[in-house]
């Protein structure tokens, strides 16, 4: 087990003409479950391959604990086979010519571990993942979910420095995905192994991660705990990427009336909460983006002060709650209602939770309020 430190790493596939990762710096603590999250093509898999040693960055350094494993400018590069890492690929990459048992013991045999030790560890891991009855089968005879578990088992049986997973749940159906997600996190906590997990699915990131690294266009947008990112997105991209349904956003003008500041939209006027005034007042007269998550809207009496009003556009029952779509001045917004009401129609008024305002600069899209 080891922590991972990345310093100013840049990766280019065309000798420096364009960079897929630029100046990435990151620290993943020992035993941490770290998720690289981002849209496809953001460089998250590339970053992981660099950590694994499958790719050589052009610049930068990577450390496992105190040990330097990649430093192209110093001519240091440890081959993947020397790094003691384990990886699960999206396509599982089980060796088709070997049985499940052999697949799981392969890496240990390569390391020339004692036979009894190997058998003990394989049996233990097989029990943990309940794949014991499959040990003598070949990968071709397994279902998707079983293959997935074998791939996980093969990686975890090795007791690696770092455990890496590249969208490992991508090929599973929704139900199985939830189950494996839960098991995976449980096992990771039990083994306490430093884990890097790549995904584009924000739900996976939110539910599993200790530490989310949100990436876009080869750069880290924001990193922190899931609640850091959810409650304090540092820019519009982060706000929109995390959370389902998506955050509602409005272009508003900041106006001062008397001593108070207001967010003015053609369809509504909202008072800026006192604690945010300090940061918002610099934008007086300018346009900002006001964001509010669907669950931070509260249904109130029609015509109340400081409300967003609109006509009901559609309703999606979720069982425990409803997603209600409202048309506000031509723009459709969504709010999540979990009260007793079961039918929605006509005009509704919503009051945004004042402590959950997200305000972004229209030009830079960076967060204004803290």
Partner 1 sequence: MSTAVNVKPVKEKVPVHLRVLRVVYYLIMICTVLLYLLPFWGTVTTSFKTAEEALTTNPLSFPEEISFDAYVDSFEELKESLITSVIITVGGALGSVALGSVCAYGLSKYRFKFDGLFFLLLSAAIYLPYQAILVPLLKTISNLGLYDTRRGLILIHIVYGMPMCTSMFRGFYSDIPDALIKQAMIDGNGPWQIYRKIVLPNTTIATVTVLVFQFTSVWNEMLFALTMGGFDCMPATIALNQMVGALSAEFNMQMAGSIWLTLPVLLLYMFLGKYLIRGYMAGAVTAS
Chain residues binding partner 1 by CB under 8 A are: 52, 54, 79-81, 83-87, 89-93, 95-97, 106-107, 110-111, 158
d(CA 306, CA 221): 32
Specify the residue, 94 or 205, whose C-beta has the smaller distance to partner 1.
94
Specify the residue, 80 or 306, whose C-beta has the smaller distance to partner 1.
80
Q: In the bound complex, what is the minimum distance in angstroms from residue 96's beta carbon to partner 1? A: 6
Cα–Cα distances (Å) from 333 to 11, 281, 291, 293, 313, in that order, read 39, 26, 11, 10, 9
Specify the residue, 107 or 297, whose C-beta has the smaller distance to partner 1.
107
Q: In the bound complex, what is the minimum distance in angstroms from residue 86's beta carbon to partner 1? A: 7
Q: Is 65 left (phi over 0), alpha (psi -120 to 50) or beta?
A: left
Specify the residue, 26 or 85, whose C-beta has the smaller distance to partner 1.
85
Secondary structure (DSSP) of 329-363: TTEEEEEEE-SS-----SEEEEEE-GGG-EEEETT
Specify the residue, 21 or 85, whose C-beta has the smaller distance to partner 1.
85
User: Of 64, 131, 73, whose CA–CA distance to 99 is shortest?
Assistant: 131
Structure tokens at 343: 């039918």
Q: In the bound complex, what is the minimum distance in angstroms from residue 81's beta carbon to partner 1? A: 4
Q: In the bound complex, what is the minimum distance in angstroms from residue 164's beta carbon to partner 1? A: 8
Structure tokens at 47: 């970053």
d(CA 92, CA 65): 28
Q: In the bound complex, what is the minimum distance in angstroms from residue 91's beta carbon to partner 1? A: 5
């Amino acid at each position: 087990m080891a922590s991972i430190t990345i310093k100013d790493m840049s990766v280019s596939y065309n000798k420096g003409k364009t960079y897929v990762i630029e100046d990435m710096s990151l620290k993943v603590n020992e035993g941490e479950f770290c998720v690289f999250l981002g849209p496809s093509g953001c460089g998250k898999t590339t970053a992981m391959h660099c950590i694994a040693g499958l790719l050589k960055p052009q610049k930068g350094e990577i450390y496992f604990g105190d040990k330097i494993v990649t430093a192209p400018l110093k001519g240091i590069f440890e081959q993947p086979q020397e790094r003691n890492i384990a990886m699960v690929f999206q396509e599982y990459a089980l060796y088709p010519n070997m049985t499940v048992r052999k697949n799981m013991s392969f890496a240990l045999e390569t390391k020339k571990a004692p036979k009894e030790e190997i058998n003990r560890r394989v049996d233990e891991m097989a029990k943990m993942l309940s794949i014991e009855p499959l040990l003598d089968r070949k990968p071709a005879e397994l279902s998707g979910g079983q293959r997935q578990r074998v791939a996980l088992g093969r990686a975890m049986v090795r007791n690696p420095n770092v455990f890496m997973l590249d969208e490992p749940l991508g090929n599973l159906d929704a139900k199985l995905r939830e189950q494996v997600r839960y098991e995976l996190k449980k096992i990771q906590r039990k083994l306490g192994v430093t884990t890097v997990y790549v995904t584009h699915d924000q739900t996976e990131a939110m539910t599993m991660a200790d530490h989310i690294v949100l990436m876009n266009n080869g750069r880290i947008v924001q990193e922190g705990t899931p609640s850091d990112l959810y409650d304090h997105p540092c820019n519009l991209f982060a706000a929109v990427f995390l959370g389902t349904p998506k955050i509602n956003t409005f272009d508003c003008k900041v106006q001062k009336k008397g001593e108070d500041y207001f967010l003015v939209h053609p369809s509504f006027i909202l008072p800026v909460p006192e604690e945010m005034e300090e940061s918002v007042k610099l934008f007086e007269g300018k346009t900002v983006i006001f964001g509010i998550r669907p669950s931070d809207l509260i249904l109130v009496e029609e015509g109340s002060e400081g409300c967003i009003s609109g006509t009901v556009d559609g309703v999606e029952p979720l069982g425990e709650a409803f997603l209600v779509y409202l048309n506000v001045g031509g723009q459709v917004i969504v709010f999540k209602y979990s009260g007793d009401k079961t039918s929605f129609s006509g005009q509704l008024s919503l009051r945004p939770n004042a402590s959950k305002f997200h305000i972004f600069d229209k030009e830079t899209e960076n967060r204004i309020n803290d």
